[in-house]
Amino acid sequence: MPAIIVVDAFWGDSGKGKIAAYVAQKHKAAYAVRAGTGTNAGHSIYFDNGDTIQTHQLPCGWLHPQTQLRVGSGVAVDPELFFRETDQYALQGRAKVDFLA
């Protein structure tokens, strides 16, 4: 199974979330995985119609409706923030959110 991994050497503001969201949409990604860290400055996605999506805990690859979310081991999770984001974007019924051990 092929994989596309978005990585860079910066700590933030480099556009990883935007790239991951684009790649997930374009390739109909099976999974969007958050790995390595905890909450961050945020991923912001801006749409032509003026809508904006901002997350701090969730990877933006879930924009494709069939993409499942995964959170890797070792990621610091703020449960309140995590569930607020899954509720805000109605992901509880739309995407499967698992914590990988």
Residues with catalytic function: 13, 43
Whose tokens are 């703020």? That residue is 78
* Complete DSSP assignment for 38-76: ---S-EEEE-TTS-EEEESSS-GGGGSTTPEEEE-TT--
